Amino acid sequence: MEHLDYDTLDTLRQVMEDDFGLLIDTFIQDSNDRILALRDVISGTDPDPIRRAAHSFKGSSSNVGAIRLMALCSSLEKKAVSNKLEQLEQDLEAIEQEFAQVQELLRALD
């Protein structure tokens, strides 16, 4: 699976025009905040905040075509829905690693 859906990004670039860079910067900053929020909630025993945080990050990842990141967030969300809270730290590490790749690729576009 590719890191990014370049068709989605091309469409965003056409629609956003001069604001495309701002969109990317906002996504990157927002994603850093989302990762911090996930780190905070995965240490708890309540699956609902984990599900909400993962769902929200999944949506924003989808919006910018970060398809692998979206899939990782979806997997984390499903685990929270199923109350399977083991190994969430490893899942978050995979999300962080994928986000690092996505961030690098998005910065190269800008």
Per-residue pLDDT of 14-68, as tens digits, reads 999 999 999 999 999 999 999 999 999 998 889 999 999 999 999 999 999 999 9
Output the pLDDT for position 43.
86
d(CA 48, CA 2): 29
| 91 in Cβ contact with 25 (< 8 Å) | no
In this prediction the pTM is 0.94
% of the chain residues with pLDDT over 70: 99
Q: How far apart are the first and last CA of the chain?
A: 22
- pLDDT band for position 86 (cuts 50, 70, 90): confident
Is residue 110 scored above 70 in pLDDT? no
Residues 6+ apart with CB under 8 A from 59: none
Domains in the chain, ordered, with CATH? 6-109 (1.20.120.160)
